[in-house]
Amino acid sequence: MDQKYDVIVVGGGPAGATAAFFLGQAGAKVLVLEKERLPRYKTCGGAVSARVLNQFPFSFEQVIETKVTAISYGMGKEMVTVPLPESSLRMVMRSEFDVHLLKHAQAEIWEGMAVKAVSEGDDAVTVTTIGGERITADYLIAADGANSISAHSLGLRTQRVMAGAIEVEAKVPHEILERFAGNPVLIFGDLEVGYLWIFPKSDHLSVGIGALHPRPGELQSVLKRVMKRYGIVLDGQQHGHPLPIYSHRERVNTTRSFLVGDAAGLVDPFTGEGIRFAIKSGRMAAEAILAGAPPQYAARLRGTIHRNHQHALTWTDIFYRSPRLFFELGLRNPALSHALIQMLDDRIGYGRLFLRIIARFPLFLTTKKVTLHKPQESLDVRYC
């Protein structure tokens, strides 16, 4: 099949779909290769900032599962909840979210097209699919996930650090679904370096666990035990997924090819957040191509996402050295949650997050008044 495109995008997730959208909007001839048939399930908590979505000139309302009104943090039998503006966070299912993004991209989309190899010459990039098709383009954007075939073919990101994650889409009784409605929960203290989550969706809960260097069977056993503590029985299928954790800066582009999202290892080392950085890097790669300045991509990545993730590594080290202390003096502080939302909105990074918490810490110590409760009780807890 002898066809030539301006850009081939490998992978139809948030990073690839974002790149395809902004490239197509500018008039580029774009081909998206997606190895699965759409829609397809993706293991992902599905939390995304409303502000991040507002950069697109179309609505996401039809794929929003729920709007977040509060966030809770649990440790052992203790939990604290902080109210949030309803305009801040949204919960989505990646199966519908990815299709919605792709639907608005002015691009050809070939489904069921798994990539076998990528080769780059002086004048073009050639993609060979498992089925034997050979397609060429001026540029390639690799958005094919943590185990990127494109990255392997191009000799990029050769020293990957992976965390492990498991997620279950849990069908629960109505009273339990109502307990967590609009109120995601992050649970600490049950893993050496990692946490669990309960994310509310429209008709079920997305529950999961992620950890760096977990022992064999640890994720499954801890997930089952902790969810039982919250009254959640795990009858659904467990979906495993590798998380490419940023640990040091690596090459993420060549002259004509760009790694984005998970393929570039852009998952936040502290929170495990991925959608925001997928969208951000996808747009950056598209803008570098449209500007005719490929080196601009790596430079922008270093100055924004990479710098942010270096600070995130520091946070990770501090937090997991003394999680109980951090829970008492950090997670109980509403300023942390509000600053975290600003970070998820892409308004601040970890550096400014740290400075804001330090600046407000004395006030927190003088006004601290928190009600604790067991997880099985109502989540109607608020800071006073």
24-46 confidence digits (pLDDT tens) = 999 999 999 999 999 999 999 99
304-351 confidence digits (pLDDT tens) = 998 888 888 888 888 888 888 888 877 887 877 888 888 888 888 887
Total-model pTM:
0.90
Task: Give the whole-angstrom CA distance, residue 12 versus residue 25.
Answer: 17
**Domain 4-46+93-158+247-308, CATH:** 3.50.50.60
Q: Which CATH architecture has domain 162-244?
A: 2-Layer Sandwich (3.30)
211-219: Cβ within 8 A, 24+ apart: 211/163, 211/164, 211/165, 212/163, 212/245, 213/163, 214/164, 218/191, 219/164, 219/165, 219/166
Q: Could you state, in order of their start, the residue ranges of all structural domains in the chain?
A: 4-46+93-158+247-308, 162-244, 333-367
> Looking at this protein, which amino acid is placed at residue 140?
L
Provide the pLDDT confidence category of residue 360 given band limits of 50, 70 and 90. low
Cβ atoms within 10 A of the Cβ of 86, count?
Answer: 12
- Of 347, 340, 341, which is closest to residue 280 (Cα–Cα)? 347
For 24, phi then psi, to 5°, come to: -65, -35
Say which residue, 110 or 76, is predicted with more confidence.
110
Give the residue ranges of DSSP H helices in 230-274.
Answer: none
Provide the pLDDT confidence category of residue 374 given band limits of 50, 70 and 90. very low
State how far Cα 286 lies from the chain centre: 19
With a pLDDT cut of 70, the percent of the chain lying above it is: 92
Determine whether 77 is exposed, middle or buried from the number of CB atoms within 10 Å of its CB (0-12, 13-18, 19+).
exposed
